[in-house]
Amino acid sequence: RSKKRALGPANQHGVKIDTKNVAEAEVSTYITYFEQFLDLLLLNAVKYSPRGYSVDVSSQWKDGAVIISIDSIGPLIEKHEKPLLGNKGFRAANAIKTNKSGDGFGLNNVLKLAELLEIDIRFNLSHRKIVEFSSIPYSDFSVVIAIKNTV
């Protein structure tokens, strides 16, 4: 359902959401919070992906947990900014330069929901520019979540 909700903004922004490599899993959790968690992650990836690029969602079973990866290209996050990701009100300098609306609460809410749902989450990012748009460097950005509370 999160993908369906993100398709409108993705189409409007010219970004594709690819879910080819998704393993089927049933998650036992508070579904409203879980959907909000996934919505925030997908919409954040769509928002910062350049037109014509894709957000790739994949999942796999590993060590009794479902591992979900959301991979995209976004404004480069500097090394000194990585520890600040998810802090209330924080937005990376290059994200601000995109002039996309935001208040720095999205990833903060994601981290709060992850804690509430007992989901492990980590942000993997590259500090190497792979492309540049409007003088803003972009790099790979990946969110990996592990859900152990599965049925």
H or E segment at 32? helix 31-48
H or E segment at 24? none
By three-state DSSP, how is residue 139 classified? strand
List, for residues 47-84, the tens digit of each pLDDT value. Answer: 999 999 999 999 988 888 899 999 999 999 999 999 99
Residue 71 Cα to chain centre, angstroms: 7
List, for residues 89-133, the tens digit of each pLDDT value. Answer: 999 999 999 999 999 999 999 999 999 999 999 999 998 999 999
Q: Can you name the residues that pair with 33 across neighbouring β-strands?
A: none
CA distance 18 to 28: 24
Tokens matching residue 43: 């919409």
Residues 6+ away with beta carbon under 8 Å from 101: none
Tokens matching residue 89: 């009100």
Q: What is the pTM of this model?
A: 0.89
